[in-house]
């Protein structure tokens, strides 16, 4: 729950974090439809989104709101699309491997073409498997930097980067800062100053 000042009054929101494939099931549509977009709740969820917002506003306490939200999500999961088994397996494999598996290798292990896997993966996850692998590697590097910021070369190797320069290039593209600048912003005990990464 976040409460912030907004237009002279209080504004309350609920932040729901889902895996890409969980979002695919709840939203009932290919995530590629929403890639790079900022949409209203009813545009993402259909007419049920507006009804959900109205029902949440009507409730007087947070326990009741969360009960409404839980029932809504369970109902959406029950009728939403099920991810293609190959996509679910490839997504899990990418994450378990820390992003260090090639798309051709995933396709070979699944017994399908790279083209089929990339097409289905992009539609359901919202990004292709190569882009997801890159983000997974980046997340791993970010986590390692927070715990052992002095070992950039070792971190690069452990994350599957060819060298530290490759890590630096990816980090700048994905975070907007170099790994060294990121480390300088670390807060003792956890967190990052100005964290939007």
Looking at the predicted structure, is the pLDDT value of residue 79 above 80? yes
> pLDDT-based confidence at 1, cuts 50/70/90?
very low
Looking at the predicted structure, is the pLDDT value of residue 43 above 90? no
Predicted local distance difference test score (pLDDT) of residue 90: 97
Predicted local distance difference test score (pLDDT) of residue 7: 61
Looking at the predicted structure, is the pLDDT value of residue 10 above 70? no
> For residue range 126-169, what is the model confidence (pLDDT) as tens digits?
899 999 999 999 998 888 887 776 678 888 888 888 888 888 89
Measuring CA to CA, which residue among 21, 27, 1 is closest to residue 13? 1
CA-to-CA distance for 184 and 63, rounded, in angstroms?
40
What residues are paired with 10 via a beta bridge? 5
| DSSP state letter for 11 | E
Predicted local distance difference test score (pLDDT) of residue 189: 52
CA-to-CA distance for 73 and 89, rounded, in angstroms?
23
Phi, psi for residue 30 in degrees, rounded to 5: -60, 130
Q: Give the residue with greater pLDDT, 11 vs 196.
A: 11
Span 91-103, average pLDDT: 95
């Amino acid at each position: 729950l976040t409460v912030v000042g907004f237009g002279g009054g209080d504004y309350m929101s609920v932040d729901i974090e889902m895996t890409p494939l969980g979002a695919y099931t709840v939203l009932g549509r290919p995530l590629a439809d929403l890639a790079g977009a900022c949409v209203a709740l009813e545009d993402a969820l259909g007419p049920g989104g507006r009804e959900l917002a109205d029902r949440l506003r009507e409730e007087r306490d947070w326990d009741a709101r969360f009960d409404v939200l839980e029932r809504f999500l369970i109902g959406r999961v029950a009728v939403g699309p099920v991810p293609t088994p190959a996509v679910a397996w490839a997504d899990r494999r990418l994450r378990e491997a820390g992003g260090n598996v090639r798309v051709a290798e995933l396709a070979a292990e699944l017994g399908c073409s790279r083209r089929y896997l990339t097409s289905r993966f992009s539609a359901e996850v919202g990004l292709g498997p190569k882009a997801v692998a890159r983000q997974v590697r980046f997340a791993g590097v970010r986590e390692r930097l927070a715990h052992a910021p002095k070992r950039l070369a070792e971190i690069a190797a452990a994350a599957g980067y060819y060298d530290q320069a490759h890590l630096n290039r990816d980090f700048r593209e994905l975070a907007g800062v170099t790994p060294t600048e990121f480390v300088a912003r670390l807060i003792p005990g956890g967190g990052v100053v100005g964290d939007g990464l």
